[in-house]
Amino acid sequence: MDPWQTLPRRAAFTCLLLLGNLPGQGVIDGSGSAAAEIAASGPTAVAARLPVRAKVRDTVVELTWDPPEGRAVTGYRVYRAGDDRPIHGEKLLKTPHFVDVGLSPGHIYTYRVRAVLADGTENDEYRPITAVAGFGIAGDELLQNPSNEAPLTDGRIPHWTEAAGSQWTRRESEPEPSAGEAYFFAPDESTAELRQDVDVSAYAESIAAGRQRFVFAGYVHSWDQSPADTARIVVEYRDRDNATVLASFDSGEIANVTRWQRMADVRAAPRGTARIRVRLISTRYNGSNNDGYFDGLSLRAVAPPAG
C-alpha cells in the first residue's frame, strides 16, 4: 500500500530524512538527517491538480475546465479570491464553463473552481488561475512574503531589506489588515524604506524580445491625522548590473486615511531587465509613529492572452 494513503488527512507530521552510505556504495561523504514538517491533505497533495483554462479580454474572463475523472459531479461553483460566495450566485453551474464580465482592465482576478460532488461536498482539485483583465494570465507570485504574513526572524521581516530605518515590523490592527493577519509598518522612523529585489532572469528570452509583461499590485493606508503620514511604492525595472533603472512605476506619496487604497501597474519589461525592485517608502509628517502602511503586494509575470 502507498504509505501516504495511510496518513490521516489535515494533520501535520514530522518527516525524517536519513542520509547514509549503503554497503559498497560510498557516494555520500558522512551521514546526517533532516526533519521537516509536512501536512497531509488528502490525494490532492500528491496528485497533480487539474488545470483551469482562461481566455482574457478587456472586461471579460472566460473560464473552462474538464470534469474530474471518475467522480459523479452535480455541478460547479466558481469563486473569486477573497470571496466566500460564488460569483454566479447560489445556483450551481451545470457545465464546466463560466464567463466573468464587467471586469476592470488592468485589475487582477484570481479564480477558484470547485466541483460539487453527489454528497454535496466541494472537491478542491482545480488549480487556482489568475488573470489580468485586458492583458492575460498571470503566473505565480514572484515576491516572497508579499503580505507580511511570515513570522519575524530575529526581529526582522523575512525576505525584505531595510534600506532606511531598522524597525520595520508586522502591525496587526488599527487599521485592520487589507489581507491576512498583518501588514508592513515602520514605527518610529521619520523616513523608512523596505525593499525586495526579484530576479527575473528566467524570463530573459521574452524580455529580450520585448514581449514580457509584469503586473504589480498593492495596497496602502495611512493613520487618520492631519497632515497625514504617507505611503509610496516604487517598482523599478533594473539591469543586470543592478546599476541602471530602465523603467519604473512610482505611486507618489499617498495619504489615504479612510481605507486601503489599491495601486497597480502593468508594463512590458524594457529589454535588459534582469531584476525588479519593489520599494516601500513611508514618510512621517505627524506624531511619533510613521503611519504609512503597506499590505497585499503582488508581482507576477503575465502570459499573453490565449486565443
Question: Would you tell me which residues interact with Ca ion (CB under 5 A)?
Answer: 147, 177, 179-180, 183, 229, 286-287, 289, 291, 295
Q: Which is nearer to Ca ion, 147 or 273 (by Cβ)? A: 147
Q: Work out how close the CB of 174 gets to Ca ion at its nearest, in angstroms, rounded to a whole number.
A: 12
Beta carbon nearer to Ca ion, 129 or 179: 179
d(CA 80, CA 301): 20
Q: Which is nearer to Ca ion, 75 or 180 (CB)?
A: 180
Three-state secondary structure readout of the chain: CCHHHHCCCCEEEEEEEEECCECCECCCCCCEEEEEEEEECCHHHCCCCECEEEEECCCCEEEEECCCCCCCEEEEEEEECCCCCCCCCCCCECCCEEEECCCCCCCEEEEEEEEEECCCCEECCECCEEEECCCEEECCCCCCCCCCCCCCECCECCCCEEEECCCCEEECCCCCCCCCCCEEECCCCCEEEEEEEEECHHHHHHHHCCCCEEEEEEEEEECCCCCCCEEEEEEEEECCCCCCEEEEEECCCECCCCCCEEEEEEEECCCCCCEEEEEEEEECCCCCCCCEEEEEEEEEEEECCCC
CB of 170 to Ca ion, least distance (A): 8
Among residues 167 and 286, whose Cβ is nearest to Ca ion? Answer: 286
Least CB distance to Ca ion at residue 30 (A)? 42
Nearest to Ca ion of 100, 291 (CB atom):
291
| CB 262, min distance to Ca ion, A | 14
Query: How many angstroms from the chain centroid is the CA of residue 296?
Result: 8
The residues, any chain, with a CB within 8 Å of residue 142's CB and separated by 6 or more, are: 198, 200, 214, 276, 299, 300, 301
Shortest distance, CB of residue 45 to Ca ion, whole angstroms? 25
Closer of 93 and 182 to Ca ion (Cβ): 182
* Residue 89: CB minimum distance to Ca ion, A: 29
* Residue 186 vs 207, nearer CB to Ca ion: 186
| Residue 172 backbone zone (phi > 0: left; psi -120 to 50: alpha; other: beta) | alpha
Q: CB nearer to Ca ion: give 134 or 218.
A: 218
**Minimum distance of Ca ion from residue 93's CB (angstroms):** 31
Residue 301 C-beta: closest distance to Ca ion, Å: 22
